[in-house]
Amino acid sequence: MSGFGVAPSGGRMGGRGGSQWFGVDGGADFEANLGADEQAYRREFGEPASSGIDFGKYADIPVEVELPQGMAALPDAARPCKEFPELQCGRLLLRNLRMAGFTVPTPVQGNSVPMALTGLDVISVAQTGSGKTLAFMLPIMFKLLEAGPGGGGGGGGRNSVVAIRALAMAPTRELAIQIMDETKKFSFRTGLRICVAYGGAPFGDQMREMERGCDILVATPGRLDDMIGRGRVTLREIRFLVLDEADRMLDMGFEPQLRELSEMMPEAGERRQTLMFSATWPKEVRELANEFQDNAVRIHVGSSDKLVAAQSITQHVNVVDDPRSKMRLVEGLVRDMELKARDLGAEPATGRRGGVPCHTVIFVNRKREVDDVARQLSRIDGLGGLRVVALHGDMTQQRRDVSLDMVKSGRAQVLVATDVAARGLDVTTVNQVINYDMPMNIEDYIHRIGRTGRAGRSGDAHTFLDAVEDEGIAAKLEQRSEERRVGKECRSRWS
């Protein structure tokens, strides 16, 4: 990438609430304000969610790097880093990483961020929960701060056309919201404005927020296409494009919209840097990368020949034919986890923030069964105060937001959901995932159980199979699983 200068003195002005622009290193009173900044950060975001990560596990995760044709070796500045200060991304961002609890880069961060900072297009193929949001947002935030305030990113008043410089595309509203929430932590008091756009929420509210200024937009393809179609947003000034969970966007049929949006942006290369992240690397994703990127470096974190679960997740598989027996087993798992959480010192849920945090996510295939399972679990004997919430596509956006807020704030301990929560749900306290039903494919299975064991933590995944309906998927589970015993346990029931 080229064409960016140094932030002018003064930059974007505003109060201490975060709109003042000081470039990458902060103002003259940066050191003096550290204490007050941290107090404000804690009031807004709470204690760092990354505490308790076993960073030592990162050293055991293999990383493969594939260079584009014509590149014999990575530039020195693009080589992997082991500590965030090595990135030289400025005092403001390093302060926010520290306050957010990030001390050591994950493999996808340590490899992709240095490459992106040098201007390379990057493809990162990595499992869910590997820290991808920071991997693409850190270089974008640094370059925007280095370049200075943009002239067209909103701020023009009502009904003005918003020209954004950085765009992160996500397949679902849940993932878009998660990316925005995480990015706001990293961009705290930098002057950068982060906005989100997704369907199911009032169009006008989202546009008014963008009109006040938008440096980075996180959006789903459908809502962004609508905003452009109404003449409210332009992509002509895009300098940074992120496609997160590119495989999922293709699965959901967004390919035509992605190609149309690409034609409205500057071309890849000198005028636009593109970062692509995907959990899988099928032919369709490779073709999309070839069209959207220019001489991209590909990073593969973990197994390079198959999609596997995170090593921090212990997988348990049982074949259960009787629905009542399955429900009793699920109740037992929830009961054990709730009692364990209470034994660790947390109080039973009281409806207020600060009780036992969310520890269990249960996936059910059929929307109509989600509410039934949630109701049954909320009546487990001897667990007064246990709060169970549901999440599925037939719920209104308001109800879905309430359920997610209860889970993220610790006011609900169990979430029962369809695959709408399989991607984009990042709750670090989740200790176990239960597949009440096995999904239709292995990719969804991996993303489901990836709601636990995130960022180096350990977790358990319990899956219940039907001896007849799930025989085929069990064989695929054996092929993809690093724990070969999983498939053997399943197959023994059919032998």
pLDDT digits (tens, 9 = 90+) for 347-398: 444 433 445 788 999 999 999 999 999 999 998 877 878 999 999 989 988 8
Strands 459-465 and 273-278: unpaired
Could you give the CA distance from residue 328 to residue 380 in angstroms, rounded to a whole number? 10
- Residue 373's pLDDT is 96
- What beta strand segments (E) does 228-334 contain? 233-234, 240-244, 273-278, 297-301, 313-319
| Ranges in the chain, pLDDT < 70 | 1-20, 49-59, 128-129, 151-157, 303-311, 344-355, 424, 455-456, 478-495
Kindly calculate the radius of gyration of the chain based on its CA atoms and give it in whole angstroms: 23
Which residue in 436, 468, 462, 437 sits closest to 449, CA to CA? 462
Following DSSP, what letter does each residue of 95-142 receive, concatenated? HHHHHTT--S--HHHHHHHHHHHTT--EEEE--TTS-HHHHHHHHHHH
Q: Give the C-alpha separation, 425 to 361, whole Å.
A: 10
Q: What is the number of residues in the chain?
A: 495
- Kindly give the pairing relationship between strand 240-244 and strand 233-234: unpaired
At 162 the pLDDT is 95
pLDDT tens digits, one per residue of 80-135 = 999 999 999 999 999 999 999 888 898 999 999 999 999 999 999 987 667 899 99
Residue among 264, 251, 23, 92 at smallest CA distance from 167: 264
Contact 370, 416 (CB under 8 A): yes
CA 13 to chain centre: 31
Backbone angles phi, psi at 385, to 5 degrees: 100, -10
For 41, residues 6+ apart whose C-beta sits below 8 A from its C-beta are 96, 99, 185, 188
Q: How many beta carbons lie within 10 A of that of residue 160, not counting itself?
A: 14
So what's the pLDDT on residue 127? 73
Output the pTM of the full model: 0.75
Strand, coil or helix: 329: helix
Q: Enter the tokens of residue 441.
A: 């494919």
In the three-class reduction of DSSP (H, G, I as helix; E, B as strand; rest coil), residue 114 is classed as helix
Whole-angstrom Cα distance, residue 84 to residue 99? 13
pLDDT of residue 9: 32
Beta-strand runs (E) in 253-369? 273-278, 297-301, 313-319, 360-363
The pLDDT of residue 458 is 83
What stretch of H or E contains 286?
helix 283-292
Locate 117 and state its tokens: 């900072």
Q: Is 463 helix (H, G, I), strand (E, B) or coil?
A: strand
Residue 193: name the closest of 164, 171, 170 by CA: 164
Which pLDDT score, from 0 to 100, does residue 66 have? Answer: 94
- Contact criterion met (CB below 8 Å) for 131 and 456: no
Q: Which residues pair with 66 in a beta bridge?
A: 298
Instruction: Give the pLDDT score at 401.
Output: 87
